[in-house]
Amino acid sequence: MQQTWFITGSSRGFGRALALAALAAGDQVATTARRPEQLDDLVAQYGERVLPLRLDVTDPAAVRAALDEAAARFGGIDVVVNNAGYANVAPIETGDDADFRTQFETNFWGVYNVSKAVIPLLRKQGSGLVIQFSSVGGRVGGSPGIASYQAAKFAIDGFSRVLRVETAPFGVKVLVVEPSGFRTDWAGASMTVHDAPAGYESTVGAMNTRMRQAGAGAAGDPARAAEILVAVAKHDDLPDNLPLGVNATEMSVAQDRRLLASDERWGDVSRSADFGQPFPAALPKA
C-alpha cells in the first residue's frame, strides 16, 4: 500500500532517515526544510515521488500553504510527521529568556501549527496518521540543561492526547514517538552549549559531557528507527506512545513503575480531598 508522507525537518537526522525509508518502501514524500536545496539529491534519486518544500514551521501561513501544495500534488496526505526541532544547553537560572522562547516556538508551536493545519484535510479524507516526535525526556524528564526542549516535549504529549481524542471520530490516529539517544546531528552542530556558572558541573556540565563528548556516539540507529516507523505507519494496531531505543524503553518502563508505586502509596491521601471520603487520611510512613 503506497502512502503519502509529509515530513518536517527533512534535511538531516530523523527527518531525512524517514524520508529515505519511506521512499525505499515505494511511498511518496513531501519533504520540508528551511533550505529545500538540501533535498535535491532525493529528487535526483526518486524523481516525482519527492516534493521538496521550503518551510519554517513557526509560520502558520507557510505551514498551510505547504500542506495544500503537498495534498494537491499527491492527491492527499496519509502520514504527517512533526519532526523539526532542536535543543540548546543552558541552566534555567542563567539561560537566555529569548533563546528559551525561540526553542519552544519550533519544538512545540511548530507541532501545533502543522497539527492544526492538517486536521481539515485528514477529516475530509476520513483517515490519516499524525506522528509527533517527542523524546524519552518528554516522558521521564529531568535532563539538566535542556529545560525548554524537554518542556516542549511534555507539552507535545499533552497536546497529542487531546488531538487523539478529538480526531479519532474522523479516522485519524496520533502516535507520539519517544526516542532515546540516536546518532543524528541533534547534539552536534544543531546544538549551542552556553556557559554554565560554578555549581552546575555535576548536572548541566555532566549532561553536556554525555551528549557532546561521548566518543562512541549514541546507540540509536536512525535508519533502523525510520524503517520501524514506516512499518508501524502501515500497521492497523498502533500504540499511543512508542519509545525507541533500549534506554528509552527501560527508562519509560521504570518511570511508569515509579509513578504507579507512588500513586498507590499516596492513594488514601489523594482520595481524601473529595467530599464524602475519609478525612484526614494518614500520611504514608517515611
Mark whether 46 is an active-site residue: no
Q: What is the pTM of this model?
A: 0.93
Among 149, 160, 180, 252, the active-site one is 149
Mark whether 124 is an active-site residue: no
What is the per-residue pLDDT for 189? 60
Among 134, 148, 160, 180, the active-site one is 134
Tell which CATH architecture fits domain 4-244.
3-Layer(aba) Sandwich (3.40)
What is the per-residue pLDDT for 12? 85
What is the per-residue pLDDT for 191? 73
What are the residue ranges spanned by the domains of the chain? 4-244, 247-286
Sheet holding 4-7, edge to edge: 50-54, 28-33, 4-7, 79-82, 128-133, 172-179, 241-244
pLDDT in tens, the chain (286 residues): 899 999 999 988 899 999 999 999 999 999 999 899 999 999 999 999 999 999 999 999 999 999 999 999 999 999 999 998 888 989 999 999 999 999 999 999 999 999 999 999 999 999 999 999 999 989 999 889 999 999 999 999 999 999 999 999 999 999 999 998 776 665 556 677 777 888 898 898 877 776 655 555 677 889 999 999 999 999 999 999 999 999 999 999 999 999 999 999 999 999 999 999 999 999 999 8
**CA 227 – CA 5 distance, rounded (Å):** 14
Exposure string over 3-35, b if 16+ CB within 10 A, otherwise e: bbbbbbbbbbbbbbbbbbbbbebebbbbbbbee
**CA 78 – CA 5 distance, rounded (Å):** 6
Q: Which of 174, 155, 152 is nearest to 164 (CA)?
A: 174
**CA 9 – CA 107 distance, rounded (Å):** 11
Mark whether 153 is an active-site residue: yes
What is the per-residue pLDDT for 159? 98
